[in-house]
Amino acid sequence: MDPEGLPWSMRIYASVEVLSSRQDGSGMIRRLPDEARRQIADHGFRIEPSPPPLTQYMFVDDMADLYRSTGDYSVDFITADMFLHAFHLIFAGLLEHVETEYLARALHDGMFAALARLEWMEPDLGDLGGSFDTARSMFAIPLALISGAAPGGRAGHAEKLAEEETARIMSAEGRMTSLITGGMLDYTRFKPRAQYTKSPEREAYFRAITWLGEAGLPLFNDDGSAITDNVRTMALMTLALDATGLWEKFAAPVDFLVGRADKGTFGEYLELTRREIESVENLTDPEKISRLADSIKEKIIPPKIRNTMTGIITREEEEAARFPEFRLSGRRFTFDSYVMNQLTSPRVGSDDNPRSLPRGIDVMVVLGSPAADKYAKSDALRYDENLARLKDEWAELSGNPDEPDTVYSLWLKTLSANMADSGSQQFFYRSGAWGYKKLLASSASWAELKHDTILCGEQSGAEMVTGELYAGLFAPPFPRGYIEPDPQTFSAVNHLASRLLDFILRFGYGDEDDYYDYPRKLSTFLDMCATAEDIARKEAKGERIDPDDYYYIKRMAGEWNASLLMPDGMELFNPDDPLANTMAVIADAATDFVEGRALYAATGAPRELFVYVNDKSGGSRIAKGCVYSYYEFARSLAEGRMDDTEWKKLVYDTGEDLRPLHPEWYSEISGWE
């Protein structure tokens, strides 16, 4: 009840009646549909169930373009969604630039030099069994993939196997034992996806990096005994690659962005090899190779994210998969993948009731979403206790000032901050439904995170209201817009973007003559974050909003432009691919090898948001903004791993009803229609 003794919903409904029924200069009466008015009266806001039509030409992407097309007298509501989405666009563009201009070259040069080093070493070492052939193939295959050449060299059985392995990679079908490593490989993961389908060069880079992260060389048998030839091969590869002095140019930037490898880093294997082998000549010494194997088993920490590709679900069989295996550039440990891994079989569930696929809600509840608690349920054995443990682990990890931050970990912390309560007393904010709007923003931004880092992170294995209704003659002299009152979100995005700027400067990717000028983009974005945080803090505390603040909010809507969000020089509209710049993206976030399917997290077309705002500075008004849409579903691996092109056609072209692909909790904000 308010001080006048009327329920909030009655007061708001009356306000909405007035705000949506005013007469414009043409004499037309514009009204919100009855259902929309009820939603705003009940919850303080409405999210349109259907996206607005695409404009004929896209300048940036559909969410940014909706903000940029705002009218002079429109009351804008700047959402956290737009800031999160803006960071994704900047990050994805920068990452593509760095990979194309720097990392692809570093990878090529490193593999080429390592092969040359092997050729130099072989005559002095004599017969090392198949170690030289395996090492040569491990280097030659990514070099061949990224350069488009055949992986051969000398004519022989080993080169034939490398060619056959490359053919398997190019076909990207099925799971089988690798011809080179002898370990199990899921070849479907070699299908280029996400932002790696834009050109043949990007596809080649995707396949090469996937080889580095997926082609594991087993070092131990199931009983724990060493596979001597493979241990020797690992030592040979680390010493050869280290001698080139080039590997750090490729590995260090990835470590900074995402984190350390989850299955033993190249540096850890190299350190043990140097200590136990001492010199290249000792690779022929069986005793030293045996000591190296013992050291690996003792010193290399088992991976936190453990999965197999054989469909096993028992704890006993899982233990056999704990022994270290060597990867040139292992998938990086990320906490969200760890959460999904810990909440699937065999860590939860039983043989009779396995839980072979996680859900995005698992991650969101661990990151701190109160709204997610209602839906983070499972009858699988040990689910609740593991979920509680993971919440504690995240609280400890995210609150530890000594824990080094990567761009990836800061992105997760930003999603966590976004779901926190700022204390705002606005009616929409205090309605229970707004928590699901925050959950929507964090889930969709998480999908963009998985999309942008699909090459790096380890994967868990098992009726439309228009803007006219509040515009025109009846708008205030100057529109009093609003920013989502979550200063902690904008502060976290600021910290995240600062870390990305540190990345550019540390690795020399921001020279003044750099055509892409990402330092300028990020500096502009940082200023926007700081101002948004300042205004949101005033809103949350119920303080006065200055005229300059309202001016900035109106100006901000137009700042989501190509200069900020798109790579400089990029063609903004491609008639041959009109969906290229649409915001919908998709990523496979987990794999279920038991039933042969993958879990997908995806964003779709944006939705318009209408919010009832009432404060002392601006009075009662309805503001309009944009929010994400989010989808989550499983699909058979037999259909191939879905990429952005296929997904965008479903979202924008086919007219297919995608509502069944929303997660269960989506009904809390979309079920009002």
> Hey, what are 141's tokens?
């295959």
**Phi/psi zone of residue 590: left (φ > 0), alpha (ψ -120 to 50 degrees), beta?**
beta
DSSP 226: B
**Which parts of 76-156 fold into alpha helices (H)?**
80-98, 104-125, 131-147
pLDDT-derived band at 304 (thresholds 50, 70, 90) equals: low
What is the pLDDT at residue 654? 81
The Cα–Cα gap between 461 and 115 comes to: 33
490 or 616, which is more confident? 490
What is the pLDDT at residue 56? 60
Largest distance between two CA atoms of the chain:
94
Q: How does pLDDT run across 133-170, given as a tens digit for each residue?
A: 999 999 999 999 998 776 765 556 778 899 999 999 99
Q: How does pLDDT run across 87-111, given as a tens digit for each residue?
A: 999 999 999 999 998 999 999 999 9
Give CA separation, 516 vs 128, 498, 504, 562, 661, in Å: 48, 18, 12, 12, 37
Number of CB atoms found within 10 A of residue 56's CB: 7
Contact criterion met (CB below 8 Å) for 76 and 618: no
Give me the amino acid identity at 591.
T
The Cα–Cα gap between 482 and 496 comes to: 23
What is the pLDDT at residue 571? 55
Kindly state the percentage of the chain with pLDDT values over 90.
61
pTM of this prediction exceeds 0.75: yes
- Pairing relation of β-strands 175-177 and 45-47? unpaired
The Cα–Cα gap between 288 and 299 comes to: 16
Contact criterion met (CB below 8 Å) for 50 and 597: no
DSSP symbols for 316-385:
HHHHGGGS-EE-TTPPBP-HHHHHHHHTSTTTSB-SSSB--S--HHHHHHHHT-TGGGGT----STTHHH
Examine the pLDDT at 475 and tell me if it is beyond 60.
no
Examine the pLDDT at 313 and tell me if it is beyond 50.
no
